[in-house]
Amino acid sequence: MTSTQSAPTLTVERLFSEPPLLGQAPSQLAFSPDGSILTFLAVAEDDRERLTLWRSDVESGEQRLWLDPVAIANTGAETEEEKAARERKRLFAHGITSYQWSPDGGHILLPIDGAGYLFDTSSEQLRRFTPEGTRQTDFQFSPSGKQISFVRAGNLYVYNRASDAERQITSDASDTVSNGLAEFIAAEEMHRFTGHWWSADEHRIAFTRVDEAPIPITHRHDVGPDGITTVAQRYPFTGGPNAEVKLGVFDLAAAAVSWPDWAEASDDYLARVDFSGPALVIQVQSRNQQRLTLKMLDGSSWKTLADEEQKTWINLHDGFTWLPDNKRFLWLSERSGNQQLYVGDTDGNLTPVPSNLGRVDEIVWCDDQHAITSGWQEDPTCNHIWRVALDGGGSECLSHGGDEAWRASWNDATASRDGSAVALRQSNAETPVQITLTDTQSQARQVLYKTDLADPSGYGPLLASHRTPSFGSLVSSTGHDLHYRLTLPEGASAESPCPAVIYVYGGPGVQRVSRAFAPLTNQLFAAHGFAVLELDNRGSSNREKSFEDVIFNHLGEAEVADQVLGAEMLGAMGEVDASRIGIFGHSYGGFMTLMCLAKAPDVFAAGVSAAPVTDWTLYDTHYTERYLGTPEGNPEGYEKSAIFAHLDGLKGPLLLMHGMADDNVLFTNATKLMAALQERDIAFELMTYPGSKHGLQEQWVSIHRFKLICDFFTRHLGTPQ
């Protein structure tokens, strides 16, 4: 892509306004059970925050809008359960935010605005099956599709489609008790978003009964545009108690519930539950997260299928999958140093599956002979889809088809029920989103969707000023490769060096640098004259375990050292002015911004910190204890990992941003930092957002905060000379 001096450039208002610059990029791809239709969600043309349902005919490739819920609205306000579930899943859109095909393909289950709907795929009629004036969450088809389970007001219900009647399964919900829902820690930190599971024969439903009473009440002040609301929140602060989680198994015929004792210790976590195969299988994680036990309910006792142990922590995954014979299963483990694929059996044997992959990240589909997986071979910035022979016969790549343009790319996949086809959601440095249908045997490929960058109503007018990034890597002090993506603005040269912004996350569980099309916020910074560097420091995700483990017991040390390496690389380039390097990040990235400013004040000239954790004793149990242990067991680690031990070193200008209704990184993190800065007579700029939670995703908030960020960096770093 070329650039010209006279070409229009990206503005904040255009980036966050309608129509979306990159069009209706498909998400949540799913095949119909017979494989003839591929469905997906796309944003509405008139509202980037409303999602609509589309269908694509697999044989012809014909696509059309199938359902737009613009006229559908439930009565009543969104419940706290719904709000919490949306925040945990980072769902900031409305309309159709999720959907499920019925097993026979005749209907699609749609939760819309708290109500349950069935969409008839033949007549294309939509029917509501939950009562008017009620709100529900966590809808699930039973394995046959004849029944639907959901949660209303903290109790579990089952709807029978044949009789058009619902049945209440639990009735003891209260201010502290809920049934069938994932608790805060499970959803926010373990990424387990449901709390109930159907048995394969539909005779039973397993569900969690969560009682938050052990967690002390803390009063959080949600500051909104119309006033202050005091919220009595049971937030599980690190080192403190978690909710009590019981596992119930309800027999639908007998109308009786049993309560198997799942925990090995009183403070264990119920990390995963699976009821799809011959028996109930759970994953139990120890409180210190150094042990994970996979076990199956055998009669009235538990049988261990696999044991995982690490000296640091164990990363949870969704890789447990029964093979069709119901005697063996697939499993992912990092016991070899990087996550790989294993075949296990009900006798507790676990055998690695040989392949040429450096890391297996996800199991997409499997039968008794093969698995379709995602992962990387040599370069962690390139994610591909692989067909792996379970007998050790090797693997083949399904996602680039020998096309050199797609070897350096990022791919996610959805498989048809029989595994004969995969729908690839692809992206590379030149292509935002491409949907490619691939035959897994012949590898014949059909492009169903490709983002039109030249669209005159979208990105087209800005295409001439687009800046294509470059990729590279540095070597850390421990010998690990640190991958980066660099976007330079127009006109940067040794004669006219530009300022730079390091766009950082830096924390575990996230990878910023990939061969996918980069976020348009990078183009926004470049349009304002800034070089943009993204660098995945040690501790980041999708790497070998030793790469992550460096941060154990002490946060903000190795990560800062690696970002300093990135800044030094920028400073050594003729195109960048070493004295004008800023840093910006959100959440863990906000924490990183503060630590970099305080620990390397001569390197970073200014910083924007959004929604930062400033004191890890103010964060939750599961996340914080995974890396730091408890405050009682690691007081020095907590002290050195908080910004307050390093504030005296902070010299550069700081802009602090925080949502005033943040229930994840509590606003107390910001107020405690404000007080500490004021006590030290350190000047800073502040912008708070009434009513906004952690994501700060509202359209008006996005426009306002990015205008402030660009203005802040322009004032303190300047523009190219």
Task: Show the tokens assigned to 602.
Answer: 């001569």
CB 135 within 8 A of CB 79: yes
Q: Is 602 a catalytic residue?
A: no
The DSSP line for 540-570 is -SSS-HHHHHTTTT--SSHHHHHHHHHHHHH
The DSSP line for 624-638 is HHHHH--TTT-HHHH
CA of residue 236 relative to chain centroid, distance: 21
| Catalytic member of 47, 68, 577, 662 | 662
| Catalytic member of 399, 416, 587, 692 | 587
Distance between CA 512 and CA 505 in Å, rounded? 7
The widest CA-to-CA distance across the chain, in whole angstroms, is 81
Task: Show the tokens assigned to 351.
Answer: 């055998």
Amino acid 421 reads A
Q: What is the dihedral of CA 116, 122, 124, 130, to 10 degrees?
A: -20
Q: Is 694 a catalytic residue?
A: yes
Q: How many CB atoms lie within 10 A of CB 701?
A: 19
Where is 298: in which H helix or E strand?
Answer: strand 291-298
CA distances from 421 to 372, 437, 447, 591 (A): 10, 7, 13, 43
Q: How many CB atoms lie within 10 A of CB 641?
A: 25
Helix (H, G, I), strand (E, B) or coil at 141: strand
Task: Show the tokens assigned to 343.
Answer: 């075949």
The DSSP line for 446-511 is EEEEE--TT-TTTTGGGGGG----EEEEEE-TTS-EEEEEEEPPTT--SSS-EEEEEEE--STT--
Q: Is 646 a catalytic residue?
A: no
Q: Which of 472, 555, 473 is nearest to 508 (CA)?
A: 555
CA of residue 440 relative to chain centroid, distance: 27
Sign of the alpha-carbon torsion through 212, 113, 192, 642: negative
Helix (H, G, I), strand (E, B) or coil at 224: strand
Where is 270: in which H helix or E strand?
Answer: strand 269-274
Classify residue 620 by its DSSP letter.
B
Where is 57: in which H helix or E strand?
Answer: strand 47-57
Where is 583: in which H helix or E strand?
Answer: strand 576-586
Strands of 147-152's sheet in order across: 137-141, 147-152, 155-160, 165-168
Q: What is the dihedral of CA 282, 288, 289, 293, to 10 degrees?
A: -40
Distance between CA 354 and CA 371 in Å, rounded? 12
Q: Which of 528, 521, 531, 535 is nearest to 577 (CA)?
A: 531
Distance between CA 26 and CA 465 in Å, rounded? 25
| Catalytic member of 615, 694, 702, 716 | 694
Q: Which of 303, 563, 425, 362 is nearest to 38 (CA)?
A: 425
Interacting residues of 232 by C-beta distance below 8 A, sequence separation 6+:
217, 218, 219
CA end-to-end distance (rounded Å), the chain: 24
Distance between CA 575 and CA 306 in Å, rounded? 53
Helix (H, G, I), strand (E, B) or coil at 303: strand
Residues with a known catalytic role: 587, 662, 694
